[in-house]
């Protein structure tokens, strides 16, 4: 009897594994070249980007994966909490969305790439984590969950993508403010 219960529980949990179906959609990303004051040198923009990382993330040293001042490139990995607005199955989908942010600077401009959004569901959910993994540009969820309807998957998929868009807009706006601030005329006299 115990063996039968174990097998039944194992099958239920094993069926929560996500499998990618063949997809030609690309990874969801936000990328743009922003022009700032043309007199700003790349070294100043690099310093501003580095300062932005320090002020935006709890521990920029943990976030920043690459800091190449000579080539004007910073790469960081961050995350934000995801809480589903879709009631059914929300405990399993509640979790984190991880992403990569690359900032490159040149005289008078910088480029950001916000990409590689990966959703990881709640591993403490009694039914197992419902992770949607790498988020793509597909309008429909390209992953298959056992015992989940296509309609439900697509609702959660769209909800995750909406959350990503909202958080990305906040990140991009904050970065734009930091990179576009006027140069100090006179050093602080304190």
In this structure, is the dihedral angle defined by the CA atoms of residues 132, 133, 137 and 143, taken in order, positive or negative?
negative
Work out the angle at residue 107's Cα, subtended by the Cα atoms of residues 181 and 56, and round it to the nearest 5 degrees: 40
User: Phi and psi dihedrals of 31, rounded to 5?
Assistant: -145, 140
Q: Give residue 186's pLDDT.
A: 52
- Cβ neighbours of 24 (radius 10 Å): 8
Tell me how far apart the alpha carbons of residues 128 and 148 are, in angstroms, rounded to a whole number: 13
Q: What confidence tier does 172 reach under pLDDT thresholds 50, 70, 90?
A: very high
Helix axes 150-180, 42-56, angle to 10 degrees: 130
Please answer whether residues 164 and 97 qualify as being in contact, where contact means their C-beta atoms are separated by less than 8 angstroms: yes
Which domains are delineated in the chain? 22-179 (3.30.530.80)
pLDDT digits (tens, 9 = 90+) for 117-139: 999 998 888 777 889 999 999 99
Burial class (CB in 10 A: 0-12, 13-18, 19+), 103: buried
Compare 100 and 149 and report the one with higher pLDDT: 100
22, pLDDT greater than 50: no
């Amino acid at each position: 009897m115990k063996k039968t219960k174990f097998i039944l529980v194992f099958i239920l949990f094993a069926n929560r594994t996500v499998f990618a179906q063949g997809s030609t959609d690309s990874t969801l990303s936000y990328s743009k070249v922003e022009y700032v004051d043309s007199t700003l040198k790349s070294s100043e923009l690099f310093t501003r980007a580095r300062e932005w990382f320090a002020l935006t993330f709890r521990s920029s040293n943990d976030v920043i994966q690459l800091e190449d001042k000579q080539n004007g490139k910073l790469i960081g990995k961050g995350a934000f909490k995801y809480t589903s607005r879709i009631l059914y199955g929300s405990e399993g989908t509640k979790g984190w969305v991880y992403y990569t942010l690359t900032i490159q600077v040149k005289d008078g401009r910088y480029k950001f790439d916000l990409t590689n959004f990966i959703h990881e569901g709640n591993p403490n959910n009694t039914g197992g984590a419902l992770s949607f993994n790498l988020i793509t540009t597909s309008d429909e969820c390209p992953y298959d969950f056992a015992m989940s309807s296509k309609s439900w998957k697509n609702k959660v998929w769209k909800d995750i993508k909406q959350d990503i868009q909202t958080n990305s807009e906040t990140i991009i706006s904050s970065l734009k403010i930091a990179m576009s601030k006027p140069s100090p005329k006179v050093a602080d006299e304190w």
